[in-house]
Amino acid sequence: MKSSGSLRIAYKLLVNDRAKFSALLIGITFAVFLMVQMTSMFAGVLFRSSATVVNVGASMWVMDPAVNNAISSIPVPDYLLDAVRSIDGVKYAVPLYSGGGLVKLPDGAYQAVTILGLDDTSLVGRPEMEQGSIEDIYSDNAFLVVHDAEFSKLGNPKVGDEFELNDNRIRIVGIAKVASSGLFGVPTLYTTYSRAIQDLPGGRFTLSYILVEPKTPADIPHIKAEVDKLGYLAVTAQDFQQRISDFYKYKTGVGMNILMMVLISFVVGLSISAQTFFSFILENLDKFGALKAIGAKNRTLVSMILFQALFTALTGYGLGVGISSLFIAVARLRMPDYAAMITLDNLVIAFGVGMLIAGISGYIGIRRVLRIEPFDIFRS
Q: What confidence score (pLDDT) does residue 225 get? A: 95
**Percent of the chain, pLDDT > 70?**
95
Tell me the mean pLDDT in the region 120-136.
Answer: 92
Average pLDDT value over all residues in the chain = 85
Range with the largest mean pLDDT of 109-113, 225-229, 297-301, 341-345: 225-229
Question: What is the C-alpha radius of gyration for the chain, rounded to an integer number of angstroms?
Answer: 30
Q: What confidence score (pLDDT) does residue 133 get? A: 92
pLDDT digits (tens, 9 = 90+) for 245-257: 888 888 877 777 7
pLDDT digits (tens, 9 = 90+) for 75-124: 999 999 999 999 999 999 999 999 888 898 888 889 989 999 999 999 99
pLDDT digits (tens, 9 = 90+) for 345-371: 888 888 887 788 778 877 877 777 777
Residue 240 has pLDDT above 90, yes or no: yes
- Cβ-count burial of 133 within 10 angstroms (0-12 exposed, 13-18 middle, 19+ buried)? exposed
Task: For residue 1, list its beta bridge partners.
Answer: none
How would residue 260 be classed by pLDDT, with cut points 50, 70 and 90?
confident
Q: What confidence score (pLDDT) does residue 339 get? A: 76
List the one residue out of 22, 14, 24 whose CA is nearest residue 272: 24
3-state secondary structure 346-370: HHHHHHHHHHHHHHHHHHHHHHHHH
Q: Which residue has the higher pLDDT, 3 or 122?
A: 122
Residue 380 has pLDDT above 60, yes or no: no
Tell me the mean pLDDT in the region 319-332.
Answer: 90
Residue 1 has pLDDT above 80, yes or no: no
Q: Which residue has the higher pLDDT, 168 or 291?
A: 168
Classified as helix, coil or strand, 375 is helix
Dist CA 153 CA 150 (whole Å): 6
Is pTM beyond 0.85 here?
Answer: no
Residue 341 has pLDDT above 60, yes or no: yes
How would residue 2 be classed by pLDDT, with cut points 50, 70 and 90?
low
How would residue 379 be classed by pLDDT, with cut points 50, 70 and 90?
low
Dist CA 7 CA 194 (whole Å): 73
Q: What confidence score (pLDDT) does residue 295 get? A: 72
CB-facing half-sphere around the CA of 333: CA atoms within 13 A:
5
Tell me the mean pLDDT in the region 38-54.
Answer: 85
Tell me the mean pLDDT in the region 20-26.
Answer: 80
pLDDT digits (tens, 9 = 90+) for 182-193: 777 789 999 999
- Helices (H), ranges, the chain: 3-16, 18-49, 51-56, 79-85, 193-199, 220-229, 237-250, 254-283, 285-293, 298-334, 344-370, 374-379
Dist CA 315 CA 318 (whole Å): 5
Tell me the mean pLDDT in the region 22-51.
Answer: 83
List the one residue out of 323, 368, 305 whose CA is nearest residue 28: 323
- The residues spanned by each domain of the chain are 3-48+253-379, 77-231
How would residue 3 be classed by pLDDT, with cut points 50, 70 and 90?
low
- Say if residues 255 and 249 touch (Cβ distance below 8 Å): yes
Q: What confidence score (pLDDT) does residue 82 get? A: 94
How would residue 203 be classed by pLDDT, with cut points 50, 70 and 90?
low
